[in-house]
Amino acid sequence: MLLIKRLAICLYSLLMANTVLADAVFDDMDVRVSLSTPAKRLVVLGPNLVESLYAIDAGNYILAASEYSDYPDAAKAIPRVASHNIINYEMIVNLAPDLVMVWQSGFGVDAIAKLRSLGLTVYASEPHTLDDIEELLRDMGRLTGLNKEAEAASARYRKTLNQLQATYSHKETVSVFYQVWQEPMQTLNGDHVMNAAIELCGGKNVFSALPEIAPRVSIESVIAANPEVIFSSGSNNQDASELAHWQRWPMMTAVQNKQVNFLQTDSLVRHAPRILEGAQQLCELLESSRELSGKSRELSDKNRGMQKHRVAARGY
């Protein structure tokens, strides 16, 4: 009997030694997400989450994704189960995923609650800072068992972030307005990761204090804020013409200094490692604005000096 018991204990120990348990994590809704084994079957609602999973070499774990999951190119072939306003819950349940990862503000807390009510394990993601993206990669590694790959991706991301911080964090502040849409006029507040990118580059989001994450604003309020830089961003097939209307207000500093710009990248609004590529472009844009402002101040000071010289010469 004792021999049988010892054999049973040895067998259990061997089974446990070969069983990899996924680490428990807390998502961005502060919900504990725990899996008995690492997730290998994923449904992913959010292009940023798809990008991040590919960054830790977990792209082949994705069974289905949401619309606009287009990076890297391999992601374009993933079956779609959701658009911005519609989620095919039946299809998701039938796929029997180990884990559903959801962009919280993109799909909303009601959709997340619905997914959980269907018995699905859900990880809700809503990074607010650039540091949060690094932690997202680590969470993904813990949940999928790809800790080594996630740590490598995190280290690459942190190295680039540190380099940008070292270069731009001490720079003179530039006031910025980011235009999401023209009609209705919409921007992003201080809770969006875009704000973190602006601050990384030494910028100040003129609407960071507004309560909504993607508030509507009036043209009059933008004119009153008088930002030094106005910019928008988007993918290669988007049109920069939505910024043209600002030329109707030449008294604005950004318009006077020709600092109304379109950045040809969608990475700035993706909560994924690639956001730093867009941040680099934004930092360069704000740096050019600083240089232009410096030249304008030098010219103004020179003109004032010349005027004082003329006055003195005339004996006034």
Same domain, 128 and 214: no
Is 239 inside a domain boundary?
Answer: yes
Residues 205, 283: one domain? yes
Please tell me the total number of residues recorded for the chain in this structure.
Answer: 316
Alpha-carbon dihedral of residues 50, 55, 60, 64, nearest 10 degrees? 0
289 plus 262 within the same structural domain: yes
Domain assignment present for 312: no
Q: Do the domain assignments include residue 10?
A: no
- Residue 306 lies inside a defined structural domain of this protein: no
Residue 294, in any domain of the structure: yes
Indicate whether 49 and 140 sit together in one domain.
yes
Tell me the pLDDT of the chain (316 aa) as tens digits: 434 434 443 444 444 434 445 678 999 999 999 999 999 999 999 999 999 999 999 999 999 999 999 999 999 999 999 997 899 999 999 999 999 999 999 999 999 999 999 999 999 999 999 999 999 999 999 999 999 999 999 999 999 999 999 999 899 999 999 999 989 999 999 999 999 999 999 999 999 999 999 999 999 999 999 999 999 998 765 667 889 999 999 999 999 999 999 998 889 988 999 999 999 999 999 999 999 876 554 444 444 444 555 544 555 4
Out of 161, 191, 218, pick the residue that ends a domain: 161
CATH number of the domain to which 197 belongs: 3.40.50.1980
pLDDT digits (tens, 9 = 90+) for 120-171: 999 999 999 999 999 999 999 999 999 999 999 999 999 999 999 999 989 9
Phi and psi angles of residue 210, each rounded to the nearest 5 degrees, phi first: -65, 145
Residue 234 pLDDT: 85
In a domain, 83, yes or no: yes
Structure tokens at 256: 């006077």
Q: Using alpha carbons only, what angle is made at residue 264 by residues 223 and 202, rounded to the nearest 5 degrees? A: 55
Whether 117 maps to a domain, the answer reads: yes
Closest by CA to 107, choosing from 59, 147, 67, 50, is 67
Q: Quick one: 189 and 115 in the same domain?
A: no
Distance of alpha carbon 31 from alpha carbon 115, whole angstroms: 14
Distance CA 229, CA 174 (A): 7
Residue 178 CA to residue 186 CA, distance in Å, equals: 9
Residue 290 lies in a domain: yes
Q: Rounded to whole angstroms, how far apart are CA atoms 204 and 195?
A: 8
Range of the domain at 274: 172-301
> How many Å apart are CA 45 and CA 106, to the nearest integer?
9
Can you give the pLDDT at residue 293?
A: 76
Q: What would the pLDDT profile of 218-239 be if each residue is shown by its tens digit? A: 999 999 999 999 999 987 656 6
- Is 0.85 surpassed by the pTM of this model? no
Domain check: are 156 and 288 in the same one? no
The tally of domains found in the chain comes to 2
Please calculate the CA angle 50-55-56 and round it to the nearest 5 degrees.
105
Q: Are residues 244 and 275 in the same domain?
A: yes
Does 197 lie in the same domain as 290? yes
Boundary (domain end) residue, out of 161, 186, 201: 161
* Consecutive H or E run containing 26: strand 25-26
The per-residue pLDDT for 11 is 45
